[in-house]
Structure 1
Amino acid sequence: MIGRVTFVAAMTPIVFCSGAWAALALWYRLPGGHLVRALGSALWVIATGMLCACAIGGRSWLPLGVYAALYAIVLLWWVAIKPSGARDWRDDVARMLTGSVHGDRVVLDNVRHFAWRSDNDYDIRWERHEYDLAQLASADAVLSHWGSRAIAHAMISFGFEDGRHLVFSVEVRKSRDQEYSSMGGFFKQFETILVGAEEDDIIRVRTNVRDEDVYLYPLQIGQATLRVLLLSYVHAANRLAARPAFYNTFTSNCTTLVYRMARQIDPGLPWDMRLLLTGYLPEYLQGIGTLDRRVPIGTLRERARISERARAAPAGADFSRAVRAVAAHD
């Protein structure tokens, strides 16, 4: 009797956690509208509760066996859900970036260069750009905050000797009928896209249209490492274009993909919770020596803030030079 009671007590939190996950999975991914998803999730919760009550109050192992069988069916259904790559995508994520490498020459197709007036009013421009890796000169970490100081969207901007900049950003690929949900990002609600864009598109829309607070941190990375990192982005873009992938709030987001690529360069790169709490990414980067260690992090953050300079840059001006002008002077 004691053994059975101990077993049931041990199984209760396992059933609770797995049952809660399955209920959320059904809510976010069960085919059909809100009513169908709500009904499916509610029926699962009721069935799980009834089976748990029978297991605790009865003397049979059957309820736990039934639950295990039902949960296995849910897992098989979950594994069968695959990203399609074919939805009615929003305009800003409608095309997948692809690239080809020919020695020092990189050719990218579908580089985004929208002219934004609002989130719903913009000129659509997808361009083919060519870059000379021999002119690759710098990289900046771009962090865009929109709420909590602990959370930011992270991007990497590569600079070339001719003054051009190319930004890579791992983003949620939303269809026209979707709104972002961090919880939905755990349950295969969104797919992933790697955007390649001009700074006066992907940074300007955040500062001037969405009123986000943007910081630009110059990275201390050698030219050879810059080359490997940029090519890693190109290869990652090609893989995503060939094999769509789901976005995951925890395991496949704007910083975890960068971390995995950086590990290819430095296998000893440490994991840190600040890779998830991206608002504290500058402290992590300074700790591993990628940001200047001679300057206090507070000073670096003050110098990095470009929001006002971005908003003051007139249309048609050299946006990249404008947002860096004061920082360079400092």
Structure 2
Amino acid sequence: MLTTASLTMLGLVIAVAGCWGVLALAFSGPQSETVRSSLAVLFGVVSLMAIIGLGFPHVRWGALAAYFALFALLMVWWRGIEPSNERDWQPDVAVLPYAEIEGDIVTVHNIRNFDYRSETDYTPAYYDKRFYLRKLEGVDLVAVYWMGPAIAHIFASFAFAGGDHLAVSIETRKEKGESYSTLKGFFRQYELYYVVADERDVIRLRTNYRNDPPEDVYVYRVQGPLVNVRRVFLEYMSKINKLRDHPEFYNTLTTNCTTGIWMHTLVNPEHLPFSWKILASGYVPEYTYEAGRLDTSLPFSELRRRAHINARAHTADGAADFSRLIREIPEIAATDPPQAAP
């Protein structure tokens, strides 16, 4: 005998599963929009009927059996959706990076370094570069804001002796004509892509060329043992090699820019514990500061002001020493831009 509480809970489970199934079919169903829409509506109707059936004992078990059989069929279909590296990709994500690791030497291939005239008008260019682990001096946390303080795109940039920097940004791999949607990102619509790039590309694109909406970029040096930085760097290299052979799906919640960074840091015993601030990505720099992993000799507000690089990036533009120039802190800096609308 099911109690009212258990029936209510079961109804909520069916409602949540029904909403998920409707969206999964609407976004990831058959190529025909008419078929996708029809299947999504059908699954929604069956879910609603199952919920209604909970209130009628004489049809309850039959309705539940039919619903869960249909849901099981949906899950078989869902598990059969496979990621691929063979699609008609947008030019900025068309080439996969990879690394060759030989002891202390890491040769990174296909480092992106586009020549931008605007956000969408550019000349693709790539280069290969050899890096030495013994020359890895640190890692910077780069935070990009465009829609308020709670949401940011976070990525890492590894610093090597001699002024070399290698930025790695975890993003979606979009096909031609495809745009990003946070909702679609839950439903296997995008492959996972690691942009391995020169800072003159991946940072300057955001500071100098993205204007709709404009983006504010902050660069923070992470504090910690170099052995930990090297472990994380090698984790990144291992992941980009793995994605070259075994593509994966991006997921808005579980496999995104910030969760990806946090997962890579698990290689270190001293990694930060998981926090809601990792999901509310705009607070990642603040969380890292609170954990003592940024420069705590300054109040966070002052550190954040110094980390803001847009003005310096505009001045540096395409300079060969772009990475050095954006990190030079002027003696008299501008007022901190409003955090509520970066």
Q: TM (normalized to structure 2)?
A: 0.91
What is the aligned partner in structure 1 of residue 19 from structure 2? 20
Could you tell me which amino acid in structure 2 is paired with residue 124 of structure 1? P
Distance 1:63 1:314 in 2: 64
Distance 1:43 1:313 in 2: 56
3-state DSSP class of the match of 1:56? Answer: coil
Matches within 5 A, 1:56-205: 56-57=55-56, 59-60=58-59, 61-205=61-205
Distance 1:268 1:110, change over 3 A: closer
Residue 153 of structure 1 contacts residue 254 of structure 1 at CA under 8 Å; is this kept in 2? yes
Distance 1:317 1:104 in 2: 26
Instruction: Tell me if 1:250 matches 2:240.
Output: no
Q: Could you list the per-position Cα deviations for residues 145-194 of structure 1 after superposition, in whole angstroms to 9, with x for gaps in the alignment?
A: 11121111111111111111100111111111211011111111111011
Deviates more, 1:282-291 or 1:198-207: 282-291
1:18 Cα offset (Å): 0.7
Q: Could you list the per-position Cα deviations for residues 239-259 of structure 1 after superposition, in whole angstroms to 9, with x for gaps in the alignment?
A: 111110000111111111111
Distance 2:270 2:162 in 1: 32
What is the aligned partner in structure 1 of residue 294 from structure 2? 291
Distance 1:108 1:22 in 2: 41
Matches within 5 A, 1:19-58: 19-57=18-56
1:48 Cα offset (Å): 2.0
1:82 Cα offset (Å): 1.2
What is the aligned partner in structure 1 of residue 235 from structure 2? 232
Matches within 5 A, 1:285-324: 285-324=288-327
Instruction: Tell me if 1:220 matches 2:223.
Output: yes
3-state DSSP class of the match of 1:189? Answer: coil
Q: Could you list the per-position Cα deviations for residues 191-232 of structure 1 after superposition, in whole angstroms to 9, with x for gaps in the alignment?
A: 101111000000000111113100000111222222111111
What is the aligned partner in structure 2 of residue 8 from structure 1? 7
1:36 Cα offset (Å): 2.6
1:27 Cα offset (Å): 0.7
Distance 1:66 1:164, change over 3 A: same
Residue 15 of structure 2 contacts residue 48 of structure 2 at CA under 8 Å; is this kept in 1? no
Distance 1:325 1:269 in 2: 29
Deviates more, 1:92-101 or 1:308-317: 308-317
3-state DSSP class of the match of 2:194? Answer: strand
Distance 1:158 1:327 in 2: 23
Query: How many residue pairs end up in the alignment?
Result: 329
3-state DSSP class of the match of 1:108? Answer: strand
- Sequence identity of aligned pairs in percent? 36
1:326 Cα offset (Å): 1.9
Q: Which runs of 5+ in 1 are unaligned?
A: none
Residue 304 of structure 1 contacts residue 327 of structure 1 at CA under 8 Å; is this kept in 2? no
Distance 1:162 1:11, change over 3 A: same
Deviates more, 1:224-233 or 1:60-69: 224-233
3-state DSSP class of the match of 1:264? Answer: coil
Distance 2:196 2:332 in 1: 28
Distance 2:103 2:57 in 1: 71
Distance 1:317 1:100 in 2: 26
Q: TM (normalized to structure 1)?
A: 0.95
Residue 21 of structure 2 contacts residue 74 of structure 2 at CA under 8 Å; is this kept in 1? yes
Distance 1:304 1:90 in 2: 31
Deviates more, 1:8-17 or 1:43-52: 43-52
Distance 1:289 1:7 in 2: 46
Residue 265 of structure 2 contacts residue 271 of structure 2 at CA under 8 Å; is this kept in 1? no
1:129 Cα offset (Å): 1.1
Distance 1:102 1:301, change over 3 A: same
1:314 Cα offset (Å): 3.7
Matches within 5 A, 1:267-282: 269-282=272-285
Residue 28 of structure 2 contacts residue 189 of structure 2 at CA under 8 Å; is this kept in 1? yes
Distance 1:140 1:6, change over 3 A: closer
Distance 1:141 1:5, change over 3 A: closer
3-state DSSP class of the match of 2:319? Answer: coil
Residue 139 of structure 1 contacts residue 221 of structure 1 at CA under 8 Å; is this kept in 2? no
Distance 1:260 1:248 in 2: 14
